[in-house]
Amino acid sequence: MPIEFSSLTALLNHGYDTVIDVRSPAEFAEDHVPGAINLPALSNEQRAEVGTIYKQVSPFDGRKVGAAMVARNVADHISGPLADKDGSWRPLVYCWRGGQRSGSVASILTQIGWRADTIKGGYQSFRRLVNRSVYDAKLPHRFILLDGNTGTAKTALLPRLAARGAQVLDLEGLAAHRGSLLGSMPGGQPAQKAFETALAMALHKLDPAQPVVVEAESSKIGRLIVPPSLWTAMLKAPRIVIEAPLTARAEFLTRAYADIADNPDDIETRLAHLRRVRGHAIVDNWVNLLRAGDLTAFAAALMVDHYDPAYTKSRRLDERKVLSVVTTGTLDEAGQERSADAIWDEIKRF
């Protein structure tokens, strides 16, 4: 009988040797159960072909063609990735709805002698558990926002705080984006579903009895939306504000964004979106500094003309409690360490 999991905790503690996602590679890439491996019953192309036959010819023909494809693919998996599994190996198999694909694969594995089970409801049952945790349920965690102007090393301070014993939630890390106009990272962002799964897993590991430090973000990080349960909690959370002089912030941004400095054409394309907001003269000045290779002056101008005014405007609308203001003269290694010490002291008092 398919195994039913009533909570994320139960599913994550499944007790099986391997979780196998037999959906197509495209479905797997969008999102999957953490730790699962992808052994597709049908490839992306095969799934599309079977679906077309099912709809345009007949369900019977679609199932017949699909069954032959699944049998050949499973044979390849058995002689390939599963070749070294002994008789004691216990796999847990799932597909989209916990139906034919996972049932077919699990049946073949069981006939060999492996104790294979399936997840009742498949991926969709897992997705409902994730939705429940980040959309429906009120989070039990106590959050502290790490706030401050652009370039105050907020993200860089999170691992330093974690090293001191603080619980941290790195939203930009989970979203694979630095949360600004120039914040895209190599490899791009995950799908919204994958982001929510990663977020649900991160929250699951945190102790609700201890405060959690999270960087102050907008409701979107790149193209990804912060789910409502977390966003609601962040709106109510107190803040620790970091303040640093413009020169220190500009120097930090120059180092932090060094990976994109080699592609000025891409940066100029992104800056073009701000011409309607900031005007052509201001954006032209940014581009001139960028093309001249003066990245520190470019970063400073971008903050003075764009990021700082936007932050000041949002601050006027923000009534969250400020626990403390941490002021640092530098944002080099030593400056970040001093800031982390001061923030950690405040967290312990909280």
pLDDT tens digits for range 16-49: 999 999 999 999 999 999 999 999 999 999 999 9
CB burial of residue 113 (10 Å; 0-12, 13-18, 19+):
exposed
**For 39-116, where are the E strands, in sequence order?**
91-94
DSSP letter string over 188-228?
Answer: -PPPHHHHHHHHHHHHHHS-TTSEEEEE---SEETTEEPPH
Is-contact 78 112, C-beta < 8 A?
yes
Q: Which residue, among 127, 95, 97, 90, has the nearest Cα to 112 in the 3D structure?
A: 90
- What pLDDT score was predicted for residue 306? 93
pTM of the entire predicted model: 0.92
The one-character DSSP state at 92 is: E
Average pLDDT over residues 188-212: 97
Task: Name the pLDDT band for 258 (thresholds 50, 70, 90).
Answer: confident
pLDDT, residue 175, reads 96
Q: Which of 101, 83, 71, 103 lies closest to 3, judged by CA?
A: 103
- Tell me the β-bridge partners of 25: none
Return the pLDDT at 325. Answer: 96
Q: What is the pLDDT of residue 134?
A: 94
**Percent of residues, the chain, with pLDDT higher than 90:** 85
Helical packing angle, 59-79 and 100-112, nearest 10°? 40
CA distance 54 to 60: 7
- For 161-172, the pLDDT digits (tens) are 999 999 999 999
| pLDDT in the model for residue 316 | 59
**DSSP code of 305?**
I
How far apart are the C-alpha atoms of 335 and 333, rounded to whole Å? 6
Residue 222: how many CA atoms within 13 Å on its side-chain side? 19
Rounded average pLDDT over 51-73: 96
For residue 346, which of 172, 179, 146, 90 has the smallest C-alpha distance? 146
Q: Which pLDDT value is given to residue 192?
A: 98
Q: Tell me the three-class secondary structure of 250-268, residue by residue.
A: HHHHHHHCHHHCCCHHHHH
pLDDT band at 350 (very low <50, low <70, confident <90, very high): confident
Render pLDDT for 294-337 as a digit per residue (tens, 0 to 9). 999 999 999 999 999 988 877 755 667 899 999 999 999 999 99
What does the pLDDT read at residue 232? 93
Asked about 95 being catalytic, the answer comes back as yes
What is the tens place of the pLDDT at every residue in 266-299?
Answer: 889 989 989 999 999 999 999 999 999 899 999 9
Reading the block at residue 263, the tokens are: 């592609």
Q: Of the residues 36, 69, 95, 175, which is catalytic?
A: 95
pLDDT tens per residue across span 132-185: 999 998 999 999 999 999 999 999 999 999 999 999 999 999 999 988 888 888
pLDDT at 319: 64
